[in-house]
């Protein structure tokens, strides 16, 4: 086990041990699931030509909607409020800031250009899903120590879906990229794979802790 794994595993345990912090982290996951609905044009279905891929993406979107319901219930079960976070603090936005290639479709674009942008989108999504799945692995282990077993059941179910998303998004990037551009597949298309975005999120949680704890104390007094 790498040192960073031990630190993150410990951080998640400390978070789960405190219902307020646990609620905050479940809210981070929840806000990520809600993000596509808030920005409206997140999944570029219009650029998907393959009916099988369209079906897979629609199933993916339905999974994320199911996760919204599960996280909301988990937050309620531990007696915490549901928060709406500023868009720029949500994991999807943070990952976007670390995604160098644009995938915004523009009018009048050629089919090849649109296909390439679709590959960019799935590369972005793949990295996002991978980071979320890794975070959920830490969190699932930590949930064994939670006051209620419900969040652990939720994380277990969500993680199974997210692993499927990690797999198909990577396969889709490969399928979409022209075979004659193998170098592109290994360089430009690759979003950053280091830990920074996840660490930024963890930093944001830690930075938010005093304000939330102060608010909690004020409410209690
Ligand atoms: Fe999800
Ligand atoms: Fe997902």
CATH number of residue 208's parent domain: 1.20.1260.10
pTM of the predicted model over 0.85: no
List the shell of residues around ion ligand 1, using CB closer than 5 Å.
Answer: 33, 64, 67
- Per the CB < 8 A criterion, the answer to whether 121 and 63 are in contact is no
Domain that holds residue 172: 3-213
Dist. CA 179 → ligand 2 center (Å): 27
Dist. CA 85 → ligand 1 center (Å): 17
| Residue 112 maps to a domain | yes
Smallest-distance ligand from the CA of 164:
2
| Residue 218 maps to a domain | no
What is the C-alpha separation between 106 and 41, in angstroms, rounded? Answer: 12
Smallest-distance ligand from the CA of 42:
2
What is the C-alpha separation between 151 and 154, in angstroms, rounded? Answer: 5
Token pair, residue 134, equals 């890794």
Dist. CA 129 → ligand 2 center (Å): 5
pLDDT in tens, the chain (221 residues): 567 778 778 888 888 888 888 998 999 999 999 999 999 788 988 889 999 999 999 999 999 999 999 999 999 999 999 999 888 888 888 778 776 677 778 888 888 888 888 888 888 888 889 889 988 998 998 998 887 899 999 999 999 999 999 999 988 988 887 654 444 444 333 334 444 444 444 445 545 545 544 555 566 55
Number of separate domains in the chain: 1
Smallest-distance ligand from the CA of 166:
2
Residues in the chain: 221
Dist. CA 60 → ligand 2 center (Å): 7
Q: How many helices (H) and strands (E) does the chain have?
A: 8, 0
């Amino acid at each position: 086990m790498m040192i960073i794994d031990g630190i993150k595993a410990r951080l998640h345990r400390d978070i789960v041990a405190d219902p307020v912090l646990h609620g905050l982290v479940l809210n981070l996951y929840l806000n990520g699931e809600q993000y596509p609905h808030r920005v409206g044009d997140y999944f570029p279905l219009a650029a998907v030509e393959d009916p099988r891929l369209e079906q897979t993406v629609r199933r993916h979107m339905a999974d994320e909607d199911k996760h919204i319901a599960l996280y909301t219930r988990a937050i309620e079960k531990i007696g915490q409020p549901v928060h709406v976070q500023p868009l720029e603090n949500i994991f999807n936005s943070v990952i976007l800031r670390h995604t160098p290639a644009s995938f915004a479709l523009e009018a009048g674009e050629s089919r090849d250009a649109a296909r390439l942008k679709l590959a960019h989108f799935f590369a972005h999504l793949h990295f996002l899903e991978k980071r979320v799945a890794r975070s959920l692995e830490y969190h699932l282990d930590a949930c064994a120590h939670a006051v209620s077993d419900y969040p652990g059941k939720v994380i277990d179910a969500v993680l199974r879906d997210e692993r499927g998303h990690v797999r198909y998004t990577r396969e889709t990037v490969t399928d979409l990229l022209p075979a004659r551009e193998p170098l592109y597949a290994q360089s430009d298309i690759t979003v950053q794979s280091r830990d920074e975005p996840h660490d930024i999120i963890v930093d944001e949680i830690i930075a938010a802790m005093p304000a939330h704890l102060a608010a909690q104390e004020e409410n209690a007094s």
